[in-house]
A and B are shown apart, each in its own frame.
Chain A
Amino acid sequence: MSQTETVAKKSAAKKTVAKKTVAAKEKADQAVNATAPEAVKPAKASSKKKSGQAFPFTAIVGQEEMKLSLILNIIDPRVGGVLVMGHRGTGKSTTVRALAEVLPLIDRVAGDTYNRTVEQYIEMEGGKKGGNKIDPESIKLEKIPVPVVDLPLGATEDRVCGTIDIEQALTSGVKAFEPGLLAQANRGFLYIDEVNLLDDHLVDVLLDVAASGKNVVEREGISIRHPARFVLVGSGNPEEGELRPQLLDRFGLHARIVTILDVAKRVDIVKRRRDFDEDPDAFMKKYHREQVKLQKKIELAKAILPEVTMDDKVLTDIAKLCMNLGIDGHRGELTITRTAHAHAAFLGDKVVTMKHVKDIAGLCLRHRLRKDPLETLDAGEKIERELAKVLGEAEAV
Chain B
Amino acid sequence: MIAFTDIVGMDLAKQALMLLAVDPELCGVVIPSAVGSGKSTLARAFSGILPESTPFVELPLNVTEDRLIGGVDLEATLTAGVRVVQHGVLTKAHEGVLYVDSLSLLDSSAVSHIMDAMSRGEVLVEREGLSEVHPAKFMLLGTYDPSDGEVRMGLLDRIGMIVPFTAQNDFRARKKIIDTVLGKRDSEDTEDELKMLGGLIQAAREQLPHVSITSEQMQALVQTALSLGVEGNRADIFCIRAAIASAALAQRSDVEEEDMKLAIKLVLIPRATRMPEREAEADEMPPQEEPPPDEEPEAEDENTQADTPDAEAEEEQKDTPDMIEELMMDAIEMELPDNILNISLASKKKAKSGSRGEALNNRRGRFVRAQPGEMRSGKVALIPTLISAAPWQESRRQESLKKGIKKRNALIISKDDVKIKRFRDKSGTLFIFMVDASGSMALNRMRQAKGAVASLLQNAYVHRDQVALISFRGKQAQVLLPPSQSVDRAKRELDVLPTGGGTPLASALYLGWETAKQARTKGITQIMFVLITDGRGNIGLQAAFDPNAEKAPKEQLEQEIEALSRSIQADGVAAIVIDTQMNYLSRGEAPKLAQNLGGRYFYLPNAKADQIVDAALSF
Q: Which residues of A does B touch, CB under 8 Å?
A: 18-26, 29-30, 32-33, 50, 87-91, 93, 150-160, 163-167, 169-171, 173, 178, 180-181, 193-194, 197, 199, 201, 219-220, 237-242, 244-245, 259-261, 263-264, 266-267, 269-271, 273-274, 277, 371, 373-374, 376
Contact = CB atoms under 8 A, between A and B. Distances in A.
B500 interface: no
A19 B50 CA distance: 10
Contact of B127 (A93, A155, A164, A193): A155
Nearest to B25: A277
Contact of A50 (B122, B158, B363, B455): B122
Contacts of B83: 166-167, 170
A271 to B, nearest CB: 7
Contact of B237 (A156, A237, A273): A273
Given A87-B231, A93-B119, A154-B113, A22 B65 contact: no
Contacts of A244: 464
B591 to A, nearest CB: 27
A90 B233 contact: yes
Contacts of B158: 89
A90 B232 contact: yes
Interface in B288-330: none
A194 B112 contact: yes
Contacts of A238: 486, 488-489
Contact of B157 (A88, A194, A273, A376): A88
Most buried by B among A171, A181, A240, A263: A263
B287 interface: no
Most buried by B among A30, A178, A241, A271: A241
Interface string B363-391: 10000010110000000000000000001
Contacts, number: 204
A21 B50 CA distance: 9
A153 B486 contact: no
B226 A261 contact: yes
Given A89-B157, A153-B109, A169-B395, A201 B371 contact: yes
A136 to B, nearest CB: 31
Given A156-B371, A239-B489, 15 more contacts: A25-B51, A88-B153, A154-B116, A154-B127, A156-B128, A159-B126, A170-B81, A170-B391, A194-B115, A220-B416, A239-B488, A266-B236, A267-B219, A270-B233, A374-B454
A267 B215 contact: yes
Contacts of B208: 29
A89 B235 contact: yes
B363 A241 contact: yes
15 contacts: A29-B208, A89-B232, A154-B116, A166-B391, A169-B392, A219-B416, A238-B488, A241-B485, A242-B461, A245-B462, A259-B230, A263-B222, A269-B233, A271-B218, A373-B454
Interface residues of B, number: 89
A48 to B, nearest CB: 13
B95 A197 contact: no
A21 B92 CA distance: 13
B606 interface: no
B547 interface: no
A264 B464 CA distance: 41
Contact of B65 (A87, A154, A239): A154
B137 interface: yes
A29 B209 contact: yes
Nearest to B21: A22
Nearest to A91: B233
Given A154-B65, A157-B371, A259-B232, A22 B24 contact: yes
Contacts of A153: 109, 112-113, 116
Contacts of A239: 153, 484, 486, 488-489
Interface in B445-498: 450-451, 454-455, 457-458, 461-462, 464, 484-489, 491, 495
Contacts of A271: 218
Nearest to A371: B458
B129 interface: yes
Interface in B200-217: 205-206, 208-210, 215
A239 to B, nearest CB: 5
Chain B contact surface mostly:
helix
A167 B83 CA distance: 7
B395 A171 contact: no
Nearest to B113: A154
Nearest to B450: A374
B253 to A, nearest CB: 13
Contacts of B119: 93, 193
B339 interface: no
Contacts of A155: 124, 126-127
A269 B236 contact: yes
B462 A18 contact: no
A50 B416 CA distance: 38
B528 to A, nearest CB: 19
A19 B233 CA distance: 32
A270 B137 contact: no
Contacts of A23: 24, 95, 137
B458 to A, nearest CB: 5
A87 B82 CA distance: 44
A373 B451 contact: yes
A170 B82 contact: yes
A273 B235 CA distance: 13
B130 interface: yes
B126 A160 contact: yes
Most buried by A among B139, B223, B486: B486
Nearest to B213: A274
A29 B205 contact: yes
Contacts of A374: 450-451, 454
Nearest to B488: A238
A33 B109 CA distance: 41
A152 to B, nearest CB: 4
Contacts of A197: 108-109, 112
A264 B225 CA distance: 13
